[in-house]
Amino acid sequence: MIELGENQYGKSRVRLMKVERGAPQHRVFEWNVEVWLTGDFTSCFLDGDNGLILPTETMKNTVYSLARGSSAKNIEEFALELIAHFLTTQPQIDGAGVRIRSINWSPIRTSAKTHARAFIQTGPEIATVTATQSRSAAAKIISGLDQLTILKTAKSAFSHFKKDKLTTLKETEDRLLGTAMTANWTHTRASSDFDTIRAGVRDALLVTFAEHDSKSVQQTLYAMGKAALESAPEICCIHLSMPNKHCNLVDLSPFGQDNPNHIFVPTDEPHGSIQAAVRRGE
Amino acid sequence: MIELGENQYGKSRVRLMKVERGAPQHRVFEWNVEVWLTGDFTSCFLDGDNGLILPTETMKNTVYSLARGSSAKNIEEFALELIAHFLTTQPQIDGAGVRIRSINWSPIRTSAKTHARAFIQTGPEIATVTATQSRSAAAKIISGLDQLTILKTAKSAFSHFKKDKLTTLKETEDRLLGTAMTANWTHTRASSDFDTIRAGVRDALLVTFAEHDSKSVQQTLYAMGKAALESAPEICCIHLSMPNKHCNLVDLSPFGQDNPNHIFVPTDEPHGSIQAAVRRGE
Amino acid sequence: MIELGENQYGKSRVRLMKVERGAPQHRVFEWNVEVWLTGDFTSCFLDGDNGLILPTETMKNTVYSLARGSSAKNIEEFALELIAHFLTTQPQIDGAGVRIRSINWSPIRTSAKTHARAFIQTGPEIATVTATQSRSAAAKIISGLDQLTILKTAKSAFSHFKKDKLTTLKETEDRLLGTAMTANWTHTRASSDFDTIRAGVRDALLVTFAEHDSKSVQQTLYAMGKAALESAPEICCIHLSMPNKHCNLVDLSPFGQDNPNHIFVPTDEPHGSIQAAVRRGE
Amino acid sequence: MIELGENQYGKSRVRLMKVERGAPQHRVFEWNVEVWLTGDFTSCFLDGDNGLILPTETMKNTVYSLARGSSAKNIEEFALELIAHFLTTQPQIDGAGVRIRSINWSPIRTSAKTHARAFIQTGPEIATVTATQSRSAAAKIISGLDQLTILKTAKSAFSHFKKDKLTTLKETEDRLLGTAMTANWTHTRASSDFDTIRAGVRDALLVTFAEHDSKSVQQTLYAMGKAALESAPEICCIHLSMPNKHCNLVDLSPFGQDNPNHIFVPTDEPHGSIQAAVRRGE
């Protein structure tokens, strides 16, 4: 017998630009929103009965309509507002999820001044949130940042590792360590000062990355996660993914030149990929 | 107390081109390989002890070394070969995983002939596999295809759906239905004729997509998954993700023109996203 | 004194899907259109006088409106139709240009049949055209193809090249030769059977690539261009850009393995880039 | 008769990371370099004689070898150094060209301090240079910046434009104006303080964008180019390309809501594209 398994449906890449027109300073928020709903939609999948299916077009409309009246100060609050709306207005669903990616715009600063109504996009770092809630449980809120692209030119070694007959990597006490990091931290409460937590977590990650005396990506990752948890009692877990952005030392000896860690080839592939969760235990 | 949670490490984007030099016909395989290992690496994360860490560089070397001697006929067999190698040679690990994405190259066909040693890349469709195995269990093999980009110009409706006060979508009995599909099917055995199963699943998906009288993406998705399962008793489950590639009808009435489903705007964002598993029940 | 130099304005990424609803076979055309206009717009740039500026939004509308009534059988004819429209209706302009990129959709073929109303996108190859016309001259039509991604596993050498003290490349009589080619050919007449010419040029390029006994990318490029010109008396010039898609032989000797041109690493960067025009001389 | 036309060959996507190890502050430069050579290579194209062909692999080696000993303080100086090297060492060439794209890395700033040896990538803005030189002429140096992604929320109108029967755009006195700008300015001398000029041009562009009372993209573009020229007497021309990053006002009236320029949909396609040169006249 063949049957329907887990399923969800929703709308992706709903792009929203919201302008707060203060006097004099404006603010702009650019959010890329994904919404999805879950529930028992068997009749739709098996029989083509669309009676329980709210169109994904309506989900898109909902993002814009709620944004107009929303007092959400950040992506976490707006995600929760969207979820609450769907759980309230759609009795046919069991749960809802929202993911938001926020592109950063900063006021333009020039020799003249900081301009109140002109902005420059900065990145590649992106702020993110994924929030989900089912009728039977509290909301789960995972905040994050993506593409935090960082590099350190000192205090990074990788040596005394395991070797087998296919190992060719040389040990090093001084290499470049770079990554385009993804971090995701889980909140223990649905109501928090998400911006303050975010600023603290980000700062803890960066201070530790910069200052840690690294014996491996793994060791630095753990230290970063630990520092993030210590910065924010409101979070219970942080997951870090640190793909290695390798910078390979160029061998200039065929040309009669030395290369004491000055000239490197940055490469995107292949790359190492280290990921781990760090959490509060019992 | 802060502690280490789930973790893994490995190498991504290991690119391999393998040429089989038959006489006269050559064959080329282009695979993008990801390898990862799991186990108790606490000492590395907490103390910077790298004694249990096989470098990711070695994983890359292993892909090329094994490929040279391998008799694997497809990505599934090569993934299993890599996993077996790591479980055998690395007693410190508990499990290993391999993901392969295969880019398709076909012999060039011209007015002259089918050329035996010249090839053209075709896509965007990609064949994929994700295989994982821990010491305590059998391998889990999920084959798939990605970016199967398909479109039907008839037999697709979407009407009688749920409406609320934010719903603006019009009902339609005749629309374009397009998607860039991802499919993943789970094998029940580690030893199968993976190529035959793949061909059967793909054919079943395509026949059903083309011929199904669709009342919704959901209904068509389920019919496609059901047909795939019926084509291959060796698989127990298939997961389909069908993002809507919307083609919006252009309103030409401001210009005094009709538009009986001839002129559309294809859009990538926002897009609906429907996903579900179809499986054999009890 | 500061003054305005060369300028143009227009609309890019206007996406059009046109469905021809034959009985029984449908056809779909997906075109990405760019339109631009030139003329004396000094008053707009210097004084903010928009009286001569047709909005780019109108250019977009024009693409859809003309497509509805168009009998163009290919991208070249549609480009010329758009240009003629703007030159006729906009007396303030001196010239117009149109670039179209065509994504290929083929009927789905399955074990059941060739489906008349379901399609699969194929690529990465793209058909292109760039047409321009000023009031004082005939239209210039350059047809092309882009991302024709091809590879040969025999008949490719590169040796006896120039060396200096920074040269480390080894000579080879047998290497893989791959490229993602761009070709652009110039028509001598505004009215031709563009599809037949395109088919002939493409076939000539592929036959020559496959069969040429290559001493360098340069030599093969020239032979391909020459064959293309010989296939189509209606074109006077062809420009070929052949970035090398390098496949580097893996050195397996550290692992005690040979590698007689079987195992390669495909790389996207860095890459060689060879480009040249081949043309009819006096 | 068929003959060879214009041609060039070279190496693209040569990636270089250079670390300056000051005490205490390090600096990192990430450059993506393209090199090409021109000359009479007819014998290679027509006869397969590679005797005049320096391999592109050697061009790559040259980038790294020269970078080691270079005292170039910016991408312009390094481009000129590479060109001089090839013109000096390769008598068979007539000319050489170099293009460099520079990815920006800034010291990480945290609550603790500005870290001397840890960096964060910032963008999407990229600094660029294209330099070319033939034996018979002085070097031509065009500096630029790419993907300067900026947005203004006030002082932007577009009205009183030309209309035809396909025009649907509404006039507006208050819209969002956004662009991902490309700018390229031509130096009149091969020896200048390129960094100071760059800083001045960039500042002039940003101040003008922010403060200009815009009646059209065209008018603002011209004002920006004029300000850039006035900031730097060492440049004779600047070319600006300003693709419109449209933010479309959402119509919330179907939901009984107003929208006084607060809620927008940012879109990437289709987009307007305005480009012009601004230069010193006679």
The answer to whether residue D172 neighbours chain C at the CB level (below 8 Å) is no
End-to-end CA separation in angstroms for chain A? 44
Query: Which chain A residue has its CA at the smallest distance from B276's CA?
Result: A7
Query: Residue C137 corresponds to which amino acid?
Result: A
Q: Are the beta carbons of C64 and B263 separated by less than 8 Å?
A: yes
Domain C9-137 in CATH 3.30.70.260? The answer is: no
Predicted pLDDT at C191:
82
Closest by Cβ to B278, choosing from A4, A15, A243: A4
Q: Alpha carbon of D194 to those of A280, C170, D3, D72, D129: distances in Å?
A: 52, 39, 41, 11, 10
In terms of Cα–Cα distance, which of C24, C211, C193 is closest to C118?
Answer: C24
* Residue A246 bears catalytic tag: yes
Closest by Cβ to A161, choosing from B3, B53, B169: B53
DSSP 8-class letter at B155: S
Contacts of residue B203 in chain C, CB cutoff 8 Å? 110-111
Residue D96, min C-alpha distance to chain A (Å): 22
CATH architecture of C147-279: Roll (3.10)
Element housing A78 (H / E): helix A75-89
The answer to whether residue B38 neighbours chain A at the CB level (below 8 Å) is no
Contact A73, A111 (CB under 8 A): no
Q: Which residue has the tokens 């006088």?
A: C49
Q: Are the beta carbons of A168 and B61 separated by less than 8 Å?
A: yes
Alpha-carbon distance C131 to C191, whole Å?
A: 13
Element housing B186 (H / E): strand B177-187
Q: Alpha carbon of A233 to those of A127, A186, B3: distances in Å?
A: 20, 11, 15
Predicted pLDDT at D192:
84
Residue B142, min C-alpha distance to chain C (Å): 23
Alpha-carbon distance D268 to B129, whole Å?
A: 33
Alpha-carbon distance B16 to B29, whole Å?
A: 8
| Structure token pair of residue C201 | 């040029």
CA dihedral angle for residue D60, residue D61, residue D67, residue D70, rounded to 10 degrees: -120
| Structure token pair of residue A192 | 């928090």
Per-residue pLDDT of D200-231, as tens digits, reads 999 999 999 999 999 999 999 999 999 999 99
| Structure token pair of residue C47 | 């004084």
Task: Inform me whether the pLDDT recorded for D49 exceeds 80.
Answer: yes
Alpha-carbon distance A166 to B54, whole Å?
A: 10
In terms of Cα–Cα distance, which of B214, B145, B206, B217 is closest to C108?
Answer: B206
The answer to whether residue B243 neighbours chain A at the CB level (below 8 Å) is yes
Contacts of residue A277 in chain B, CB cutoff 8 Å? 4-7
Rg over alpha carbons for chain D, rounded to the nearest Å, is: 23
The answer to whether residue B168 neighbours chain D at the CB level (below 8 Å) is yes
The answer to whether residue D253 neighbours chain B at the CB level (below 8 Å) is no
Query: Rounded to 5 degrees, what are φ and ψ at C85?
Result: -60, -50
Beta bridge partners of residue D181, listed in sequence order: D148
Predicted pLDDT at A191:
82
Alpha-carbon distance D205 to D195, whole Å?
A: 15
Taking residues D234-256, what's their average pLDDT?
Answer: 97
Closest by Cβ to D56, choosing from C4, C272, C282: C272
Q: What is the pLDDT along chain B (282 residues), one digit of tens a residue?
A: 999 999 999 999 999 999 999 999 999 999 999 999 999 999 999 999 999 999 999 999 999 999 999 999 999 999 999 999 999 999 999 999 999 999 999 999 999 999 999 999 999 999 999 999 999 999 999 999 999 999 999 999 999 999 999 999 999 999 999 999 999 999 998 888 999 999 999 999 999 999 999 999 999 999 999 999 999 999 999 999 999 999 999 999 999 999 999 999 999 999 999 999 999 986
- Catalytic entry in D18, D38, D56, D188: D56
Largest CA distance in chain C: 76
In the three-class reduction of DSSP (H, G, I as helix; E, B as strand; rest coil), residue A244 is classed as: strand
Predicted pLDDT at B261:
97
Contact B161, A53 (CB under 8 A): yes
The answer to whether residue D48 neighbours chain C at the CB level (below 8 Å) is yes
* Residue D56 bears catalytic tag: yes
* Residue A56 bears catalytic tag: yes
Largest CA distance in chain A: 76
Q: Are the beta carbons of D151 and A105 separated by less than 8 Å?
A: yes
Half-sphere exposure of D120 (CA within 13 A, CB side): 22
3-class secondary structure per residue, C242-267: EEECCEEECCCHHHCCCCCCCEEEEC
Contact D235, D185 (CB under 8 A): yes
Q: What is the band of D262 on the pLDDT scale with cuts at 50, 70, 90?
A: very high
In terms of Cα–Cα distance, which of C61, C268, C64, C260 is closest to C173?
Answer: C260
Beta bridge partners of residue A132, listed in sequence order: A97, A140
* Residue ranges for chain A with pLDDT beneath 50: none
Alpha-carbon distance B19 to A61, whole Å?
A: 52
Chain D 109-138, CB below 8 Å of chain A: which residues? Answer: 110-112, 115, 117-125
Query: Residue A246 corresponds to which amino acid?
Result: H
| Structure token pair of residue C244 | 């090398």
| Structure token pair of residue B251 | 């309103």
In the three-class reduction of DSSP (H, G, I as helix; E, B as strand; rest coil), residue B215 is classed as: coil
Element housing C225 (H / E): helix C217-231
End-to-end CA separation in angstroms for chain C? 44
Task: Inform me whether the pLDDT recorded for D282 exceeds 90.
Answer: no
Predicted pLDDT at D11:
98
- Catalytic entry in A60, A187, A212, A246: A246
pTM of the model: 0.97
Same fold, A9-137 and A147-279: yes
Predicted pLDDT at D102:
98
Q: Which residue has the tokens 């603290």?
A: A200
Q: Catalytic residue positions of B?
A: 11, 56, 246
Which residue, among D248, D252, D269, would best test binding to B if mutated, counting the most B CBs under 10 Å from its CB?
Answer: D269
End-to-end CA separation in angstroms for chain D? 44
Alpha helices in chain B (DSSP H): 42-47, 56-69, 75-89, 194-211, 217-231
Predicted pLDDT at A281:
87
Work out the angle between the directed axes of helices D75-89 and D56-69 (0-180°, nearest 10).
120
Contact B103, B123 (CB under 8 A): yes
In terms of Cα–Cα distance, which of D99, D80, D101 is closest to D36?
Answer: D99
Instruction: Give the DSSP letter string of A88-147.
Output: HH-TTEEEEEEEEEEEEEEEEE-SS-EEEEEEEEEEEEEEEEEEEEETTS--EEEEEEEE
* Residue ranges for chain C with pLDDT beneath 70: 282
Where are the domains positioned within chain D? 9-137, 147-279
Cis, peptide link before residue C91, omega less than 30° from 0: no
The answer to whether residue B255 neighbours chain D at the CB level (below 8 Å) is yes
Query: Which chain A residue has its CA at the smallest distance from B39's CA?
Result: A276
Alpha-carbon distance A272 to B9, whole Å?
A: 7
In terms of Cα–Cα distance, which of A31, A28, A29, A90 is closest to A59?
Answer: A90
Beta bridge partners of residue A32, listed in sequence order: A15, A101
Q: Are the beta carbons of D237 and C4 separated by less than 8 Å?
A: no
Predicted pLDDT at A6:
97
3-class secondary structure per residue, chain D: CEEEEEEEEEEEEEEEEEEEECCCCEEEEEEEEEEEEEECCHHHHHHCCCCCCCCHHHHHHHHHHHHHHCCCCCHHHHHHHHHHHHHHHCCCEEEEEEEEEEEEEEEEECCCCEEEEEEEEEEEEEEEEEEEEECCCCCEEEEEEEEEEEEECCCECECCCCCCCCCCCCCECCCCEEEEEEEEEEECCCCCCHHHHHHHHHHHHHHHHHHCCECCHHHHHHHHHHHHHHHCCCEEEEEEEEEECCEEECCCHHHCCCCCCCEEEECCCCEEEEEEEEEECC
